[in-house]
Amino acid sequence: MSTPLLIDTDPGCDDALALAFALEHPALDVVGVTSIFGNASTADTTRNARSILELFDRADVPVAAGADEPLLADLDTAEHIHGPGGIKGDLPDPTPATEPVDAHAAQFIVDQAREHGSDLTLAAVGRLTNVALALALEPDLPDLLDEILIMGGSAFEAGNVSPLASANFYGDPHAARRVVRDTDPTMVPLDVTQYSGLPASWIDALPRDTPRSAAVYEWATYYSDDDLDRYGIETAAIHDAMALASLVDDDLLETEAHFLEVGADAGLAQGALAVDLQGTRGEKANGRVALGVDAERYQDIVTETIDRALD
């Protein structure tokens, strides 16, 4: 039986690979996609999500456009990493078949939670603004869902946009603080995603003679040489696919339950994730955080699934 999955995302190259993975894997049933700013503006990430769905012949998946800006922080997007419009590759222009639904993403999240109930997993792999707004609409949202899965945060690894913060938390720290505090999430931070890229041999062997395969190659190689040198890695980090892969293999990640909190003040604290390993705050655990991964298993799960999507 497949897991109903709602993906809140900001495509984005690694988001695009994660979405392609989720659409293809038989254990996942993507019931909707909600868009958020991050790797580009919300208008661009909405268009990108629609184009990806059409590229993989999944116009049946509804799309809901989300917030245009953070709750309080300044808007900051990452086209300099992911390419003009927030994504690399030659994607089809979206058609009316994937026109976004009338509901705002936050309301759509609540509606899907009420419809699917405790069977539904919400995977938030971008800024957490839509999820924070959904919580404002429905404070019992966590109780309606099976799980809230977050790709974001940096527990003990250096951040990728500041010394302490990941892009997804830094980009809307107030939303991240609310969601992490109040939803008992499972978190997949940079600690496990930053150095677990897809194999270079697989990327080099990708066919590039169809629109799908050409796009996948561009998504898998979105880091510049400077980015690769900066992190000392061979291939680009495909952060979001790891979060979704954990839904199909319970043994993929090593998670620990701890008290978690996100800094919202400007400066070094902005978007910083605090994991209370030793219980110094005396607070009970309010979420689980992944601190270990079977990287080889992750690579196998993702590459085998993407290969099927390209056949």
Which residues are marked as active site?
Answer: 239
CA distance between the termini of the chain:
24
Task: For residue 243, give the nearest of 122, 128, 95 by alpha carbon.
Answer: 122
Phi and psi torsions of 132, nearest 5°: -65, -40
| Locus of tokens 């109903």 | 4
- Helices 42-55 + 211-220 axis angle, to 10: 130
How many residues appear in the chain? 311
Task: Please name the residue ranges forming H helices in the chain.
Answer: 13-24, 42-55, 79-82, 105-116, 129-137, 141-144, 167-170, 173-182, 190-193, 200-205, 211-220, 225-231, 239-245, 295-310
Burial of 204 per CB tally in 10 Å (0-12, 13-18, 19+): exposed
Q: Are 65 and 21 in contact (CB under 8 A)?
A: no
